[in-house]
Amino acid sequence: MASAFPCFSPGPVPNTLGVSCTADQLCVAGSEGRLIEALREAGEGALVLGQGSNVVLPERLDQPVVLAAWRGLRLRVSGDDALLTCAAGENWHGVVRYSLGQGWAGLENLALIPGSAGAAPIQNIGAYGVELSERVAEVRVFDRAENRVRALTAEACGFGYRDSLFKADPARYAVLSLTLRLARRLPMRLDYPDIDLELRRQGVTQPRPRQVAEAVIRVRRRKLPDPRQWGNAGSFFKNPIVDPGQAERLGRTEPGLATYPVAGGVKLAAAQLIDRCGWKGRRRDGVGVWHRQPLVLINFGTGSGPDFLALGEEVRRSVRERFGVDLEMEPSAMCPPG
């Protein structure tokens, strides 16, 4: 089918869930200028994606899709501090590897998270006690409402737990680049048991940032499926935050339930809730729950976007019925459930 826009044509939409999705109108933007041109041409309905690491897609998208595909890294050094600017199309794990290879600390706990640099601030990615927002200096965006490029500070980005201004208003902002604050020496976050145990297994008592990243990579590879083999979007659900009273009641009825005091309440471990509902390793048609980490839903090769949403809703319902806790999906759904 011919596209309605000159710089668009039909094509497959990449995504880490491994579902088959074709866009009637697709533009692979190899530069910031090309992306801005495409968005101006397509109008308000266009969807901007990177590597499709945090979306659930239908078999066919009739709205225009623009892929942020340009690359580029720029490092500005000032003594023991540095600013690293990453183009939206850079692979996130590649950014982490580059920063560590240049001797800069700050991103080691965020190693091996799938997706592009442009997607990282949208989700405010985080792992093992570190959130991206702690390192952000600036996010450059194309503001579609104001039809101009803007530079937003970390404060202006409205970062929260797996949340941001960009996620709250996805039709308005297209991320162009991300600038991160790094340093030669930073206090390292080593208090997660998995990371501490992995470092001790390696005989590392005074770890350097690269050794922490290597420990994170080993732990993630042991627990999480490789999207190239088993399509997945990483954690399919956020860890829920409940009020202290509900957490106390759950603690009485559910011995051993993990709780973590946070601003605004008490965080529960979604993986533990899902596991106690018996979901680990279960399968529904072409999709299932990863046998090593029940937060992750995987594609057995034939799963569709609606299949993922249907399974996700089953999991959510069982957690709600047993614990009275609502789980929130992390990926954005672009299709109705099956």
Percent of the chain with pLDDT over 70: 99
Catalytic residue at 78? Answer: no
Mean pLDDT over 78-94 rounds to: 97
What residue ranges define each of the domains in the chain, with the CATH number in brackets?
Answer: 9-68 (3.30.43), 73-188 (3.30.465.10), 241-333 (3.90.78.10)
Angstrom distance (rounded) from CA 142 to CA 146 = 9
Write out the two tokens for 200. Answer: 């001790």
| Mean predicted confidence (pLDDT) in 63-67 | 96
Mean pLDDT of 181-200: 92
Measured distance CA(253)–CA(331) in Å, rounded: 31
- How high is the mean pLDDT of the chain? 94
- Whether the pTM exceeds 0.95: the reply is no
- In the predicted structure, residue 317 carries a pLDDT above the cut 70: yes
Looking at residue 275, its pLDDT comes to 97
Q: Tell me, what's the pLDDT at 245?
A: 95
pLDDT of residue 267: 94
Active-site residue (options: 116, 177, 235, 304): 235
| Neighbouring residues of 302: CB distance < 8 A, sequence distance ≥ 6 | 285, 286
Helices (H) and strands (E) in the chain, counts: 9, 20
Any catalytic annotation for residue 314?
A: no
Q: Which two tokens stand for residue 85?
A: 């600017």
What local confidence, expressed as pLDDT, does residue 223 receive? 92
Whether 118 and 102 have beta carbons less than 8 Å apart is answered as no
Over range 124-148, report the average pLDDT: 96
Burial of 141 per CB tally in 10 Å (0-12, 13-18, 19+): buried
Report the distance separating Cα 182 and Cα 147, nearest Å.
31
pLDDT band with cut points at 50, 70 and 90 for residue 285: confident
**C-alpha to C-alpha distance for 274 and 283, rounded to whole angstroms:** 14
Q: How confident is the model at residue 217 (pLDDT cuts 50, 70, 90)?
A: very high
Work out the average pLDDT over 254-258: 94
pLDDT, residue 338, reads: 64
Question: Is 330 tagged catalytic?
Answer: yes
- Half-sphere exposure in the Cβ direction for 216 (13 Å, CA): 27
Is the pLDDT assigned to residue 263 strictly greater than 90?
A: no
- The predicted pLDDT at position 237 comes to 97
Q: Quick check: 99 pLDDT over 60?
A: yes
Mean of pLDDT values over 22-31: 96
Mean pLDDT of 64-70: 97
Q: Which of 162, 218, 220, 316 is catalytic?
A: 162
Percent of the chain clearing pLDDT 90 (strictly above): 89
